């Protein structure tokens, strides 16, 4: 799921020497990374909230499908009962 997406986190040109705290006092790289980390965490929080909302919607849809299946079965049963009733009404009366 994360394959190929990790490159987007590293847009700038950062050499391996710049990944640790710079010795020359250049804190802008560290600030840049912290800012990007904060943005990533913010996006992650938004995605998790969206996932939770979609999960709730999915559960609601599953309940709706269940209710619809119950109604469908009920209506089929009523239809068969009415069909049998009509057949009995229209059947010739047998006389002995």
Q: Which pLDDT score is estimated for 6? A: 47
Unique residue bearing structure tokens 């009733």:
85
How far is it, in rounded angstroms, from Cα 74 to Cα 93?
31
Looking at residue 10, what DSSP letter applies? Answer: -
pLDDT in 10s for each residue of the chain, 96 residues: 444 444 444 455 555 555 555 555 578 999 999 999 999 999 999 999 999 999 999 999 999 999 999 999 999 999 999 999 999 999 887 766
Kindly report the length of the chain: 96
How far is it, in rounded angstroms, from Cα 49 to Cα 52?
5
Q: What 3-state DSSP class applies to 25?
A: coil
């Amino acid at each position: 799921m994360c394959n190929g997406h990790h490159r987007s986190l590293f847009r700038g040109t950062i050499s391996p020497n710049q990944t640790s705290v710079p010795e020359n006092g250049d804190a802008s790289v560290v600030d840049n990374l912290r800012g990007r980390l904060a943005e990533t965490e913010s996006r992650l929080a938004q995605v998790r909230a969206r996932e939770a909302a979609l999960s709730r919607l999915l559960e609601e849809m599953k309940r709706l499908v269940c209710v619809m299946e119950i109604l469908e079965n009920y209506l089929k049963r009523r239809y068969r009962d009415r069909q049998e009733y009509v057949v009995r009404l229209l059947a010739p009366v047998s006389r002995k």
